[in-house]
Structure 1
Amino acid sequence: MTDFSSAKSVSASGMQAQAQRLRHLSENISNADTPGYRRKLISFQTALGQGEQISPVQVGRVRLDQSDLSTIYDPSHPLADEAGEYEGSNVNLLIELADAREAQRSYEANLKMFDQARNMSSSLMQLLRR
């Protein structure tokens, strides 16, 4: 029975990690036009337990993308320098949307695994009751 619990635990940790990833991706998308905004990056790690073969997923530290900020020419902008340019964000909407779709699909895969483990556990309990 612990294998089913472990599978559900790993799937639930994967769903939590992907939900947090989606939160950061949505922040990036909403701040794409904010001057000076740096894209947030998130990484995943496995939470190693003692003697466990199956490890849940943990979210690593949130980092800021250190790639160059885009330069925008708009002399009428309040942040523009004497050349009429200011620094925009380093968010690429195409990349953010692709990452959001990947995170959504990963979330759905973890949800299906969770449901499958739950259904298998329930079926096993029904068989044992007979």
Structure 2
Amino acid sequence: MGFFDGYNVATSGMSAQRTRINVVSANIANAQTTNTIDGGPYKKQDVVFEEILLNKAQKANNNDIEQSNNKNTPAELRGVGVKSIVQNDAEPIMRFEPAHPDANEDGYVAYPNINPVIEMVNLIEAQRSYEANIAAFNTHKNIDTKTLDILKA
């Protein structure tokens, strides 16, 4: 394990959670958006994470199965990344509001199928995960600082 590996893992987690926080915030902000550029109500978005190799030099031409069976091969450093941001295809919520400018001919308005309470829980979860990665980063920094102090003495 390299000197900066712990930092790399923690920062990959922080970057992924920052993306999640941005997407969830956009969902909350657009929970009442009934008309978008594409037409129709805003569609909720979700972040899909994936495991990534942080050691790119070792990634080329490696076979994970062969590596997992060989006990002499060092484990590769893995982190988390954003695989994609996907739109939720849930049906919109129809509300009877005939005076609304986006009402259809029957007087119903299509609202995004976004529950603000669930989105707030997702936001808090992402924030806590971000904070946990900060704590891991700081712990690694403190360990390195103590190690350097011992080596200086």
TM-score, normalised relative to structure 1: 0.93
Residue 107 of structure 2 is matched in structure 1 by 84
Residue 10 of structure 1 is matched in structure 2 by 9
Superposed CA RMSD in Å reads 1.4
> Aligned equivalents of 2:107 and 2:49: distance in 1?
41
Residue 52 of structure 2 is matched in structure 1 by 47
SS where residue 109 of structure 1 aligns?
Answer: helix
Percent identity between matched residues is: 33
Residue 52 of structure 1 deviates from its aligned partner by 4.5
Residue 101 of structure 1 is matched in structure 2 by 124
Alignment of 1:49-68 (within 5 A): 49=55, 50=58, 52-68=75-91
Structure 1 stretches of 5 or more lacking a match? none
> Aligned equivalents of 1:21 and 1:11: distance in 2?
15
SS where residue 128 of structure 2 aligns?
Answer: helix
Residue 18 of structure 2 is matched in structure 1 by 19
> Aligned equivalents of 1:70 and 1:91: distance in 2?
9
SS where residue 109 of structure 2 aligns?
Answer: strand
Residue 90 of structure 1 deviates from its aligned partner by 1.4
Amino acid at match of 2:87: L
SS where residue 41 of structure 1 aligns?
Answer: strand
Residue 126 of structure 1 deviates from its aligned partner by 1.0
> Aligned equivalents of 2:141 and 2:75: distance in 1?
20
Amino acid at match of 1:111: I
Higher Cα Rg: structure 1 or 2? Answer: 2
Residue 114 of structure 1 is matched in structure 2 by 137
Structure 2 stretches of 5 or more lacking a match? 35-40, 59-73
> Aligned equivalents of 2:94 and 2:77: distance in 1?
46
> Aligned equivalents of 2:22 and 2:79: distance in 1?
20
> Aligned equivalents of 1:11 and 1:52: distance in 2?
17
